Each structure stands twice: as C-alpha cells, then as structure tokens.
Amino acid sequence: MEKTISIAQARGSLAEMVNCVAFGRDWYIVERRGKPVAALVGAAEYRQVLALLRDHGVASEVEGIPVRINFDGERFFVTEDQFNLYGVGETPDEARRDYWLAATDYYEDLKRNRGNLSHPLRQHLTSLRRIFKARGE
C-alpha cells in the first residue's frame, strides 16, 4: 500500500518505515512542502522496476511525439521511431530535454535544407513544423 509522508515525519520514523517496506509491502512517497521528492520502496520492487525499464521501457511523449524511455543501469534514454532521434540523461527529465534539443536541431537543419530534401525528410519537416507551430514557435 502506498503512503504519503513528510520529510519531517520520515526523519523520526525511518527505521519503522524501512521495516514496513521490507516486510509489509508498503511504499512511501516522501514530500517536501506538499510535493513528492522521493520514494521508499522495497529493494526487490526497485530492481524489478529497473529491469522493466531496461528490457521494455516506458511509453511516454515529448511535445506530442510518442517516445520510449529506457534505463541501462546508469542513464536514461529517450528514443522514438518517427524521426530516429534520441536523448540521454541521468534522469528521465534530462533525457527528455536532451531529446527535445535533438528534435529542435533536426527541425532547424531540415528548414535550412528544405529545397534539397527527399520525400521522407519533407514529411519529417511537415510533422515537426506542426509540432513547433502548436507550441507557438
């Protein structure tokens, strides 16, 4: 069962929380000023989540582009099949930002070379133009 606890409460009951997580199947979301900042889960569940991220990833999106987030044990990777771009980071958010930078650079490159693009690359330009237009850029 998932429980939410403040950092102040967690400081005073860490040993009890660890026992609940290790033996009682509880999970704790630790909050600072009402915002989640950490989670305390059992080691077995943690390893299972990492294995799932490594083996299958998680479906997500970046600015409307369907992506998959994977973890190799050290870094997170954001990949997709539409433009064949990727992003890397120490956190999922860093990997998403890195992916978005790659998409932005790719879009700018396509715009600069729009007169010499093959049909598939013109389609990429059209798709990315829609995404950037929806963002107001």
pLDDT of residue 46: 87
Residue 122: pLDDT band with limits 50, 70, 90? very high
**Structural tokens at position 134:** 């929806």
This prediction's pTM: 0.73
User: What tokens were used for 15?
Assistant: 């040993």
**pLDDT tens digits, one per residue of 54-99:** 888 899 999 999 999 999 889 999 999 999 999 999 999 999 999 9
- Amino acid 49: pLDDT: 85
Per-domain residue ranges of the chain: 2-41, 56-134
pLDDT, residue 77, reads 95
Q: What is the pLDDT of residues 4-18, one digit of tens each?
A: 999 999 989 999 999
Rg (CA), the chain: 20
Domain 2-41 has what CATH class? alpha beta
Tokens describing residue 118: 């093959």
- In three-state secondary structure terms, 67 is strand
Specify the residue for token string 């989670």. Answer: 39
Residue of 130, 135, 129 whose CA lies nearest to 110: 129
Rounded CA gap, 8 and 79, in Å?
38
